Amino acid sequence: MVKAFPGDYMHQCCLGVMRKLLLLWTRVRTEVRMSRAQIAQVNNRLIALRKVIPTCFARRPRSLDELDRWKATEFRQFMLYTGKVVLRGILQENLFDHFMTFSTAMCILVSPELAVSHTCYAHNLLQFFVDRGGILYGPQFKVYNVHSLLHLAADVTSLGSLDHFSAFPFESHLHHIKNMVRSGKNPLMEIANRLEETIPMKLPETRPENMVKEGAVFILSPGECCEVVSLTDNAETVLCRVYTNLQSYLLTPCDSRIYGAFRAKTRASEMRLLHRSCLVKLAFVIKEPHGHRVVVTVLHTI
């Protein structure tokens, strides 16, 4: 039964576990709740990230005050990318380390490459997350969504990375279907007619090369990334600032370079002309207050 019906990480992990953690940290009156000042700090960091999130993300970060209106894509964004940055140094260290076991496992399972090579490790992280969660948050933490995490790695082994069997594409298409309805009379017939009109049309696919524009960031290798400075007259090349000698951003629960989170320094950079074919793996840069730059790789399927 469990193998026949794989879990959907949109509902289980994003709207389920990630939302539950955020509610525990911000709403529930226990020792794990952040203070008002801490929540305000996290909110300020989230709002500051609105300027750097790439356009491939459906939504910009919103504050925790609007948590009740967050969509699944916003919880995914927090779980995979922004949470590790905005919570660091604010959330209690033991809670942050616990969250990072969940976030790291999800980064691995959502990445087509890492889901092949690190599935076993991701399962071990999720096992620890579930067991440790009962100690940190109490036995009521182990609800169905949390327990279901134990079967997630097995689903990935059978079916591929999480985006191969998630509800995100259907949720996105549902938005387009709703916009097709112009009146309240015979909505099903109207939707069927509008869908039939789109069948002969082949819409252009969104590819990483379409993301090549000024300010865009790409991972070149495990030790290098680049930021597009300007487009050149030659359509095949782009002027980029290349950051060399990328360092780990976090070491808990593992070296963050494994799942594409780096720390870059401006002084360890140089200008280069790069061929567009090199600019495939999309990322974005978050500037920390003390001057360091955090480079975060986009892992989920765009």
Instruction: Encode pLDDT of 175-215 as tens digits.
Output: 677 777 877 778 888 878 877 777 665 555 544 446 899 99
Identify whether 253 is preceded by a cis peptide bond (ω within 30 of 0): yes
Q: What integer pLDDT is reported at residue 208 of this predicted model?
A: 47
Token pair 């819409």: residue: 203
N-terminal to C-terminal alpha carbon distance within the chain: 31
Q: Which two tokens stand for residue 78?
A: 């927090």
249 vs 252: CA distance, rounded Å: 9
Hey, is 147 helix, strand or coil? helix
Contacts of 181 (CB under 8 A, 6+ apart): 187, 190, 191
56 vs 137: CA distance, rounded Å: 35
Q: Which two tokens stand for residue 278?
A: 């090199």
Strand 293-297's sheet: what is its strand order?
Answer: 247-248, 261-264, 293-297, 281-287, 217-221, 224-231, 237-243, 269-275
258 vs 108: CA distance, rounded Å: 9
| Rg, C-alpha atoms of the chain | 21
Residues of the chain with pLDDT under 50: 206-209
138 vs 131: CA distance, rounded Å: 10
Q: What integer pLDDT is reported at residue 205 of this predicted model?
A: 53
Contact 226, 239 (CB under 8 A): no
The H or E element containing residue 229 is strand 224-231
Token pair 């020792």: residue: 31
The H or E element containing residue 238 is strand 237-243
Q: What integer pLDDT is reported at residue 38 of this predicted model?
A: 98
Which of 81, 82, 88 has its CA nearest to residue 63? Answer: 82
Q: Which two tokens stand for residue 109?
A: 């399972």
Helix, strand and coil in the chain, % to nearest 5: 50, 15, 35
Contact 69, 42 (CB under 8 A): no
Backbone φ and ψ for 256, nearest 5 degrees, come out as: -65, -15
Q: What integer pLDDT is reported at residue 283 of this predicted model?
A: 97
50 burial via Cβ count (<10 Å: 0-12, 13-18, 19+): exposed
Q: Where are the domains of the chain?
A: 9-165, 168-198, 208-297
Token pair 């989230």: residue: 46
pTM (global) more than 0.95: no
Dump pLDDT digits (tens) for 204-222.
Answer: 554 444 689 999 999 999 8
240 vs 230: CA distance, rounded Å: 7
279 vs 284: CA distance, rounded Å: 13
